[in-house]
């Protein structure tokens, strides 16, 4: 028998799950398909080396979705200040939440705990196919249809591609994508630290990449080091004590002695521009629609803003009953393009500016950091843009 839905979401990552949660109480018939069974509740003493800097705007969205309040409070760490250093360590740019009239600049949350909170919320809202896979999607005039691996056929007014950077939905819909590899890995690991972090997120724009140490509960920090592939593979393979020594030295001992508490893992980094976020009966969200360098910690925040906007367009569609109507979906695309292009431009430009050896550029970028640091109004503008 053919099942019918209003919205069929392909991909149960953070963004797809948040869209399900955002569409609660809309009366829309929702379904979600995800090939991987979600991980069990993370054990209390364990730490996930994959963490996200979640903007206050995204946190407010997740709270409206009913997911944020499911996170254990003691595992949500407020970022109260940021210190960004150039390759000349005297060049420093500092942002403080207090100076900008905010309570915090961001929250640091572990991936596993956020996934778990969103799964709990999504399960209450949608028909979930998981673990399950699909073989084909077709977009017709009045509905789209998805064929599951077991042969079952599902019809929906709208299919949402939330299946990540290598989106199969996007490929099958024939949406053009321009990938460009950074030839870098994002190496992540958690450490306990000797000196207190005081809610400060540290970032070093080094010639070999960008090193970030983000505050975690207690005297712990989470590292994201974006670095050339070969060097990244070497770092990830180091013994715990050697890795701690490398990070201690690269961070100029800012947090004193470090001890590894979660082993290193590495993720490939790329920039991906997708020409259209919508087609008739199709909308793309999250990494399926855009991929950015993690140096600004904004990838999933962009995705949450996609989910927030798409949910707002679908909820406010008035007399237009058809969720897959392209004129309606284009409203979503128009609303999201500028934010996404600006973030892709900024992160790409920063990555290129710092990831090269041209001497005059090295002086200019360090001077640039100092100049921005002396401009309170410009700093306030940057902060208010980042917390959206
Ligand atoms: C090292 C690193 C650090 C980062 N740090 C930050 C940060 O601090 N802040 C931030 O905002 N962002 C950060 N990001 C970016 C962030 O990780 C991504 O933007 C985010 O995970 C994208 O979420 P998503 O749900 O769109 O995609 P994914 O997380 O890729 O989820 C896609 C889901 O779709 C499923 N799927 C795949 N194929 C199919 C299919 N064919 N059918 C059905 N389902 C499918 C997958 O199993 C998965 O569950 C970082 C990225 C990296 C690499």
Per residue, the 3-state secondary structure of the chain, as one string, reads: CCEEEEEEEECCCHHHHHHHHHCCCCCCCEEEECCCCCCCCCCCCCCCCCEEEECHHHHHHHHHCCCHHHCCHHHCEEECEEEEECCCCCCEEEEECCCCCCCCCEEEEEHHHHHHHHHHHHHCCCEEECCCCEEEEEECCCCEEEEECCCCEEEEEEEEECCCCCCHHHHHCCCCEEEEEEEEEEEEEEEEECCCCCCEEEEEEECCEEEEEEEECCCEEEEEEEEEHHHHHHHHHCCHHHHHHHHHHHCCCCCCCEEEEEEEEEEEEEEEEECCCEECCEEECHHHCEECCHHHCCHHHHHHHHHHHHHHHHHCCCCCCCCCCHHHHHHHHHHHHHHHHHHHHHHHHHHHHHCCCCHHHHHHHHHHHHHHHCCHHHHHHHHHHHCC
- Residue 361 pLDDT class (50, 70, 90 cuts): low
Residue 106 has pLDDT above 60, yes or no: yes
Residues 6+ apart with CB under 8 A from 226: 182, 184, 185, 186, 187, 209, 210, 211, 269, 293, 294, 295, 351
Q: What phi, psi does 272 have (nearest 5°)?
A: -140, 120
**Residues 6 or more apart from 77 whose CB is under 8 A from it?**
107, 108, 109, 199, 214, 215, 216, 217
pLDDT score at 305: 97
- CA–CA dist 185, 230 (Å, integer): 9
Question: Is the peptide bond preceding residue 69 cis, with omega within 30 degrees of 0?
Answer: no
CA distance 243 to 236: 8
Judge whether residue 55 has pLDDT over 70. Answer: yes
Is the pLDDT at 124 greater than 80, yes or no? yes
Write out pLDDT tens, residues 294-311: 887 789 999 999 999 999
pLDDT at 356: 64
Nearest CA to ligand 1 atom 51: 294
pLDDT, one tens digit per residue, over 160-177 is 999 999 999 999 999 999
Residue 35 Cβ contacting ligand 1 at under 6 Å: yes
Segment among 24-28, 86-90, 95-99 with least mean pLDDT: 86-90
Which residue would you say has higher pLDDT here, 319 or 37?
Answer: 37
| The two three-digit tokens of residue 203, written as one number | 């970032």
Q: How far is the CA of 10 from the centre of ligand 1 (A)?
A: 13
Could you tell me the two tokens for 172? 């099958």
| Ligand 1 centroid from CA 296, angstroms | 15
182-208: pLDDT as tens digits: 899 999 999 999 999 999 999 998 888
Q: What is the pLDDT of residue 100?
A: 83
324 lines ligand 1 (CB under 6 A): no
Per-residue model confidence (pLDDT) at position 379 = 61
Ligand 1 neighbour 209 (Cβ under 6 A)? no
Tell me the mean pLDDT in the region 105-122. Answer: 96
- Whether 242 has a pLDDT exceeding 70, the answer reads yes
What is the strand order of the sheet 77-79 is part of?
A: 51-54, 106-110, 77-79
Residue nearest to atom 52 of ligand 1 (CA): 294
Residue with CA at minimum distance from ligand 1 atom 26:
286
How far, in Å, are 7, 176, 185, 269, 378 from residue 291 at the CA level?
24, 14, 14, 9, 26
Q: From the alpha carbon of 269, which atom of ligand 1 is closest?
A: 53
Q: Quick one: pLDDT at residue 95?
A: 86
pLDDT at 366 over 80: no
Select from 82, 285, 294 the residue to mutate for testing ligand 1; criterion: most ligand atoms less than 8 Å from CB: 294
Report the DSSP pairing between strands 127-129 and 209-216: unpaired
pLDDT of residue 273: 93
270-302, pLDDT tens digit by residue? 889 999 999 999 999 999 999 998 887 789 999
Check residue 354 and give its pLDDT: 67
pLDDT confidence bin for 367, thresholds 50/70/90: low
Question: For 375, how many CA atoms within 13 A lie in the half-sphere containing its CB?
Answer: 12
Q: 346 or 57: which carries more pLDDT confidence?
A: 57
Domains in the chain: boundaries = 3-386
Pocket lining: 301 vs ligand 1, CB cutoff 6 Å:
yes
Is pLDDT at 365 greater than 70 in this prediction?
no
Instruction: Tell me if 162 CB under 6 Å of ligand 1.
Output: yes
Q: Tell me, using a 6 A CB cutoff, whether residue 163 lines ligand 1.
A: yes
Q: For residue 371, is pLDDT > 80?
A: no
What is the average pLDDT score of the chain?
Answer: 91
CB of 235 shorter than 6 A to ligand 1: no
CA distances from 238 to 212, 213, 231, 242, 271 (A): 18, 18, 11, 6, 27
**Minimum CA distance residue for ligand 1 atom 48:** 13
pLDDT at residue 87, rounded to an integer: 73
pLDDT at residue 149, as a whole number = 96
Angle, alpha carbons 168-68-34 (nearest 5°): 20
pLDDT level of residue 213 (50, 70, 90 thresholds): very high
Q: CATH class for domain 3-386?
A: alpha beta
pLDDT at site 1: 54
């Amino acid at each position: 028998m053919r099942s019918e839905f209003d919205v069929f979401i392909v991909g149960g990552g953070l963004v797809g799950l948040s869209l399900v949660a955002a569409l609660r109480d809309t009366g829309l018939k929702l379904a979600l398909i995800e090939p991987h069974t979600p991980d069990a509740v993370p054990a209390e003493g364990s730490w996930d080396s994959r963490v996200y800097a979640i903007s206050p705007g995204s946190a407010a969205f997740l709270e409206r979705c009913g997911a944020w309040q499911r996170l254990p409070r003691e595992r949500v760490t407020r970022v109260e200040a940021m210190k960004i250093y150039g390759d000349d360590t005297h060049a420093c740019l500092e942002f403080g939440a207090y100076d900008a009239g905010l309570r915090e600049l961001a929250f640091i949350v572990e991936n596993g705990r956020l996934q778990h909170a969103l799964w709990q919320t999504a399960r209450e809202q949608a028909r979930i196919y998981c673990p399950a896979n699909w073989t084909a999607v077709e977009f017709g005039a009045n509905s789209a249809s998805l064929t599951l691996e077991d042969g079952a056929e599902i019809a929906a007014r709208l299919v949402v591609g939330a299946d990540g950077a290598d989106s199969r939905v996007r490929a099958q819909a024939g949406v053009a994508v321009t990938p460009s590899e950074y030839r870098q890995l994002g190496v992540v690991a958690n450490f306990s630290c000797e000196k207190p972090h005081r809610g400060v997120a540290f970032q070093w724009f080094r010639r070999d990449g960008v090193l970030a140490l983000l505050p975690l509960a207690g005297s712990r920090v989470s590292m994201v080091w974006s670095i050339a592939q070969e060097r990244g593979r070497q770092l990830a393979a180091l013994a715990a004590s050697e890795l701690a020594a490398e990070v201690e030295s690269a961070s100029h001992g800012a947090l004193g002695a470090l001890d590894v508490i979660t082993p290193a893992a590495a993720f490939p980094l790329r920039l991906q521009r997708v020409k259209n976020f919508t087609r008739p009966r199709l909308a793309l969200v999250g990494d399926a629609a855009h991929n950015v360098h993690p140096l600004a910690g904004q990838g999933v925040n962009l995705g949450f803003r996609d989910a927030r906007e798409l949910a707002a367009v679908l909820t406010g569609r008035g007399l237009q009953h058809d969720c897959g109507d392209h004129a309606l979906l284009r409203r979503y695309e128009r609303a999201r393009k500028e934010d996404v292009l600006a973030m892709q431009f900024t992160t790409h430009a920063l990555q290129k500016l710092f990831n090269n050896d041209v001497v005059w550029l090295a002086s200019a970028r360090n001077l640039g950091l100092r100049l921005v640091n002396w401009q309170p109004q410009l700093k306030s503008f940057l902060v208010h843009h980042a917390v959206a």
